[in-house]
Structure 1
Amino acid sequence: MSTRGEPWRRTARAFHFRADPDWAVPALERAGVDCCALANNHVLDFETEALADTLAALDSAGIANSGAGPDRSAALDPAVVPVGPLTVAVVSLTDNTVEYAATADRPGTAYVDIDVEDPATRATVRECLHRARAHDPDLLVASLHWGPNMTVAPPGRFRRFARWLVDAGVDVVHGHSAHVFHGVEVYRGRPVLYDTGDFVDDYAVDGRLRNDRSFLFDLTVTEEGRPTRLRLEPTEISDCAVHRAPPDVAAWSRERLRERSAPFGTTFERDGDALVLDVDEG
């Protein structure tokens, strides 16, 4: 969110995205956004000046953020958000665009390879989670911008990584990047959303994959912060805005989600146009 900076030219980039903070910040506020995950493949599209403006705009609006910063240490810090009586900590990581990775003396993203066998990855993620747990959160969310565009299922290494995160204390794995929703898994009573697809976007629509269709993912937790139920309301993008999906689109999305979740042993109940999943362990 910036009007400054020049398009990134240090490496080849097909797209360069930015938004004027004078309208982008009020849009986030009106939508009730409390937290932004910034570890992604576009946050440096207009170089470090625009990243600095993005961070300043969010901080000025009181919108917590994680995943990017003026250096690696700042990028690994969690966002901490009060939700009613609960404290929620969000860590944000990406395996996209290694040239955007923050270092000890360079702004950028919290970058990791998605590989649980990589000692560097384990060390980085453990450091990130340690910082989050220092805030004694009731709910710990890992938001991951991982993998390529236009896929319908995660690779095996993503599944291993997600389970490792839950074993390390993460309560919700929130995946995104593919522009297409993937299946949902429940592991040890914790929801793993491998990819939530697009919610608001202006990309061209793939007529087969339908990246204009997804869900509002509504998670219910106990007073202690334990996830209990996931409700998925079908959505559709039109005119660069999100809408409730009409009945035929909702049916298409429900069918696709059931198909993509079946390999994880996940089944849903129907509630109107929505799908409901009880995530309590056991």
Structure 2
Amino acid sequence: MTRLGFVGDVMLGRQVDDKQRSRSVEAVWGDCLDFLREFDGLFANLECCLSDRGQPWRRTDHTFHFRADPEWAVPALERAGVDCCALANNHVLDFETEALLDTLDALDDGGIAHSGAGRTRDDALDPAVVTADGLDVAFVSLTDNTPEYAATDSASGTAHVEIDVENPETRATVEEALARADATDPDLVVASLHWGPNMVVSPPARFRAFAKWFVDSGVDVVHGHSAHVFQGVEVYDGAPILYDTGDFVDDYAVDATLRNDRGFCFEVVVKGGAPATLRLHPTEIEDCAVREATDEAAVWSRERMRERSEPFGTSFDRDGDALVLSL
């Protein structure tokens, strides 16, 4: 049995960065640190660059710019046991190319695998490969956000695609990325997708079709993020599709209705080389740190997850604070 943890957006910049300069490296993980460290593999979307260099992106309109000091951020990721970061998102180039390159170097120096951004398009499409308790996991990261951040043959950036299974360019890019993952001879393939707009609680039909195409193409887990709120879970051909894993830690303003400060750590238990069980552990964000959810927050999140998953025919059991689903 191998336990893999998946979390949504980990944004370590702005106020999080400010607070971390005067508190312990582990403080950003609140009372979740020991829990996170128990996973055999831990995967996150890194929603910022790691650098003390660069100027805010001004080539096109871009409102928010997220950057964290790698001197504390990399040790924090290491101490939580983060094994791999998705970098295909709309913030990894917030402080231009030199900060992106610093991010790649900082993660490499910390021994943290990454996929989804690189010095060229070729680099950005390469999978990360993580060995978790003897299980080889190939991790592919793609985004439909911020097309101006897309890597090219001569420019650094992200692995960018349109979310359209009929788009020939999309099909070619996805097939290339998955072929590279398959070439590593993995036991498990994860597709991490930073897709869609903010504050949307359900995926559109084309996202569902896209996710199922990935599963049909050999993906074992779909790890979605971008909306800042969690969306429902669907199981397709035995593969969990986590349409959006929400926010895990950040300094964002909280919507009083959608409660983007509440969410889950998603645990996929793998047995016999295939996902067997999904467990959802309630969390919440407070004071720029992630914490185990209070009873009130946990109840709210469980109810919302049940509601958002029901249209996909997904129903959960309960084990303590967690929601549990057999795959």
TM-score by length of structure 2 reads 0.84
Q: In the alignment, which residue of structure 2 is the partner of 1:182?
A: 231
Q: In the alignment, which residue of structure 2 is the partner of 1:28?
A: 77
AA at the equivalent of 1:5? G
Residue 37, structure 1, aligned to residue 86, structure 2: yes
> How many residues are treated as equivalent by the alignment?
278
Q: In the alignment, which residue of structure 2 is the partner of 1:240?
A: 288
AA at the equivalent of 1:156? A
AA at the equivalent of 1:76? L
Residue deviations 1:134-183 (CA, integer Å, cap 9, x gap): 11110100000000000000000000000000000000000000000000
Residue deviations 1:168-207 (CA, integer Å, cap 9, x gap): 0000000000000000000000000000001111100000
Task: Give the one of 135, 139, 149 matched to 2:198.
Answer: 149
Counterparts of 1:257 and 1:266, CA distance in 2? 10
1:82-93 matches, cutoff 5 A: 82-93=131-142
Task: Give the one of 93, 99, 109 matched to 1:50.
Answer: 99
Counterparts of 2:71 and 2:294, CA distance in 1? 33
Q: In the alignment, which residue of structure 1 is the partner of 2:253?
A: 204
Q: Any stretches of 5+ residues in structure 1 without a counterpart?
A: none
AA at the equivalent of 2:276? T
AA at the equivalent of 1:67? G
Q: SS of 1:199's equivalent?
A: strand
AA at the equivalent of 1:134? A
Residue 254, structure 1, aligned to residue 299, structure 2: no
Task: Give the one of 216, 222, 230 matched to 2:278.
Answer: 230
Q: CA RMSD in A?
A: 0.5
Residue deviations 1:206-246 (CA, integer Å, cap 9, x gap): 00000000011011001x32000000011111011111111
Q: In the alignment, which residue of structure 2 is the partner of 1:18?
A: 67
Residue deviations 1:68-96 (CA, integer Å, cap 9, x gap): 00000000000000001110010000000
TM-score by length of structure 1 reads 0.98
Among the aligned pairs, what percent are the same residue?
73
Q: In the alignment, which residue of structure 2 is the partner of 1:166?
A: 215
Per chain length, whose mean CA-contact separation is higher, i.e. which structure has more relative contact order (CA < 8 Å, sep 6+)? 2
Query: 1:271: how far off?
Result: 0.8
Q: SS of 1:51's equivalent?
A: helix
Q: Which runs of 4+ in 1 moved over 3 A?
A: none
Q: Any stretches of 5+ residues in structure 2 without a counterpart?
A: 1-49
Q: In the alignment, which residue of structure 2 is the partner of 1:109?
A: 158
Q: In the alignment, which residue of structure 2 is the partner of 1:130?
A: 179
Query: 1:12: how far off?
Result: 0.7
Counterparts of 1:62 and 1:271, CA distance in 2? 34
